[in-house]
Amino acid sequence: MAEGSFATAINCMDGRTQRPVMDWLTEQFKVDHVDAITDPGVDKILTAGTPEQIESIKNRVLISVNAHGSGYIAIVGHHDCAGNPVSEEEHRRMTKEAVEVVAGWDIPVRVFGLWIGEDWKVEVIHER
């Protein structure tokens, strides 16, 4: 097991979202480290991606949980996403659905859906 406490961020590759999510997870849950799983438009991948894409994310989550003991998973949708250029309403819907997908993997962790708006602040929009 790795030293320190961990959370996991399933986040867009967009660098503007990385720090706000990392800061929120470390402050909210007092963790030492955040494992970053990034792809463009992860909310879309988890809700409409290929089985191979979803399995790739799941495998990386399992490494974070099993090797690092992560107890929290955040799934992030955000404003101005080049990888999934849809409305805020659609991002929020997909992010909430993605939380349900990950919760369905029966991993014993808390799963959160986060929205990063144009102010680059974190908003919790769903929790399981």
pLDDT at residue 14 greater than cutoff 90? yes
Q: Is 7 within 8 Å of 23 (Cβ atoms)?
A: no
67-101 per-position pLDDT tens digit: 999 999 999 999 999 999 999 999 999 999 999 99
CA distance 3 to 67: 10
Architecture of domain 6-127: 3-Layer(aba) Sandwich (3.40)
> At which residue do the structure tokens 């399933």 appear?
10
Query: Whole-model pTM?
Result: 0.95
31 residue type, one letter = V
Give pLDDT, residue 18: 96
Per-residue model confidence (pLDDT) at position 1: 63
